[in-house]
Amino acid sequence: MDGLPAGEVVDVDALARDMARRAPGRDAFSTDRRETDAVEILSGLHEGRTTGAPVCGVICNQDARSGDYGQALRPGHADWTALLKYRGHADMRGGGHFSGRLTAPLVFAGALARQTLARRGVRVHAKIAAIGGVADAEIPCTPDAYGAAAALAFPVSDAAAAAAMQQRIRDARADGDSVGGVVEAAAFGLPGGLGEPFFASVESTLAALLFSVPAVKGVEFGGGFRLADMRGSEANDALCVRDGRIAAVSNHNGGLLGGITNGMPVVVRAAVKPTPSIARAQQTVDAAGVQTALSVRGRHDPCIVPRAVPVVEACLALCALDAWLTAGRGAERGEG
């Protein structure tokens, strides 16, 4: 992870806690496979502070059972496209280069970004918005409300919604099946004016990062797809003056206008498809093109949405910090 300011204190314990939120094997709703996801930091830290050099961490796989991965192409996985792209040379044990394991470094970098932002008054939190068609209740768009939800072991605000989601996961597992959901993240305290128009807008860079997370198939900001059904008079966020600064009365634009932050909370949602690895028999082919049926064994999450929460949070934190630091550049603007 390059580009962190020098001299930042790194809270290694908080880092480990963030890693644990993504790590498998935490509870009844995730895979039995256990990884501590301990990070060995090789460079960039000295006496507990960043040095300005890139921070390099290594996370080793511990509980891998490569034998669980066979020759049939797993539907919904990148086995097929890896075969097309790498002509059979890809090492797809554990999903290879396309494995969800590769989100662990994102959480590592995101944890450093969150700590760095927190010292500047910016809080980034994520929670589950929906699982298996069950939506969480609406909560106030405040750092405390999101922070409280994010701190829960099963990060859903409404207890009844949480229970219903967990039941959906248990039902899916019992059926040898899986469920998907939606993760929502918000950043509070970002100043306005961050991001560049067009190709380096906050929306563009954050969406690009989120779509590099395996299983994410949709990204929306603020009202997102629901804005498509609204009228302008409803979707527009009326402006007012609050505490001496321009503010918006509502936040349908999710803190972003023209791809630039406006000082309101930045709100993003990512759709996570159901875990493609399921025990139920599926029709597929093997690498040689022979038709076969596949029941994916191995220890797979019936729902990866809870483990995706810190990943989406990390993506938002990374983009927010990058926009913030780049804005040092922007901040210089107009001074002449």
List binders of a copy of itself among 4-33 (CB under 8 A). Answer: 5-9
Buried residues in 216-245 as b, exposed as e (16+ CB within 10 A): beebbbbbbeebeeeeeeebebeeeeeeee
**What is the closest distance, in whole angstroms, from the C-beta atom of residue 145 to a copy of itself in the complex?**
22
Binding-site string for a copy of itself from residue 76 to residue 95, where x marks contact by CB under 8 A and - marks none: xxx-xxxxxxxxxxxx----
Which one of the spans 12-20, 136-144, 152-160, 177-185 is the region binding a copy of itself (CB under 8 A)? Answer: 177-185
- Does residue 65 interact with a copy of itself by CB under 8 A? no
Restricting to residues 247-266, which ones interact with a copy of itself according to CB under 8 A? 248-249, 252-254, 256-263
Query: In 74-109, which positions are buried (b, 16+ CB within 10 angstroms) versus exposed (e)?
Result: bbbbbbeebbeeeeeebebebbbebbbbebbbbbbb
Binding segment (CB under 8 A) for a copy of itself, from list 19-27, 158-166, 272-280, 311-319: 272-280
Letter for the amino acid at 193? G
Residue 184 interacting with a copy of itself (CB under 8 A):
no
Structure tokens at 173: 């597992």
Which one of residues 107, 150, 278, 318 is an interface residue with a copy of itself (CB under 8 A)? 278
Dihedral sign of CA atoms 204, 205, 207, 212 in order:
positive
How many Å apart are CA 280 and CA 295, to the nearest integer?
Answer: 5
Does the protein bind a copy of itself through residue 48 (CB under 8 A)?
no
Q: How far apart are CA 139 and CA 259, in angstroms?
A: 25
User: Pick from 16, 141, 148, 285: which binds a copy of itself (CB under 8 A)?
Assistant: 285
Q: Which of residues 291-310 bind a copy of itself (CB under 8 A)?
A: 291
Residues in 222-241 at the binding interface with a copy of itself, rule: CB under 8 A:
222-225, 227-241
Residue 36, amino acid: T
Which of positions 95-134 make contact with a copy of itself (CB under 8 A)? 96-98, 102, 116, 119-120, 130, 132-133
